[in-house]
Amino acid sequence: MPQEITTDEDPKQGQIVIDDNTGEAEIVDIEDEELPLAPARPGYWALVNLLLVLATVFALCLIIVEYFLTRKKKETDEEPESEAYDRDDQKEDESSDKRISLKVVLLGLIPAIGSVIAFLLTEDMTNSMRMVDWWTILMVVIFALEVLLLIFGRRRKEQEESVAEDDKNS
């Protein structure tokens, strides 16, 4: 069986093989074989789409937190006893305010869930990554809807607070 001796100092880039029977050494050139590479996947996914989905879900979380904080605040506010008012009208006003807040939360669920579903259906994260793709436009629109709902919910809350302050001052 031949012994293999390799030297890095040899400029010929080969291996020295010594035959055990004859004791002769000879240099054997080893050619580089081309390694078969796996074909590149044709698709890609966009990082901005993932970030927009996460931002949309975060905006929904803000809407939900604000809903529960304002609801809790309304429950802890005490009714003024000295003012004369119709209790039936007040109950209708409170329930309609809660429904509007609940509507904002429910409307906020639609873009958030839609963005997650759209991302899962359009992006294959096993492919290579890009910054943006054609679906980024859809994700930006969905995120903009969620931000509008967040702003609408806050404006509604601010309007309610200003009306409540005006009523207390009057």
Q: State yes or no: pLDDT of 159 exceeds 60.
A: yes
Query: Mind listing the pLDDT tens digit for each residue in 25-50?
Result: 777 777 777 878 877 778 899 999 99
Give the residue with greater pLDDT, 9 vs 148: 148
Query: Mind listing the pLDDT tens digit for each residue in 64-105?
Result: 988 888 777 766 665 555 444 555 555 555 554 444 578 888
Two structure tokens written together for 45: 């996914």
| Residue 97 identity (one-letter amino acid) | D
H or E segment to which residue 137 belongs? helix 136-169
| Residue 103 identity (one-letter amino acid) | K
Question: What is the share, in percent, of the chain residues with pLDDT greater than 70?
Answer: 71
Pair 3, 20: CB distance under 8 Å: yes
Mean pLDDT computed over 53-72: 89
Confidence of residue 168 (pLDDT cuts 50, 70, 90): confident
Q: State yes or no: pLDDT of 112 exceeds 90.
A: yes
Confidence of residue 10 (pLDDT cuts 50, 70, 90): very low
Pair 90, 60: CB distance under 8 Å: no
Spatial distance between the Cα atoms of 161 and 47, rounded to a whole number of angstroms: 40
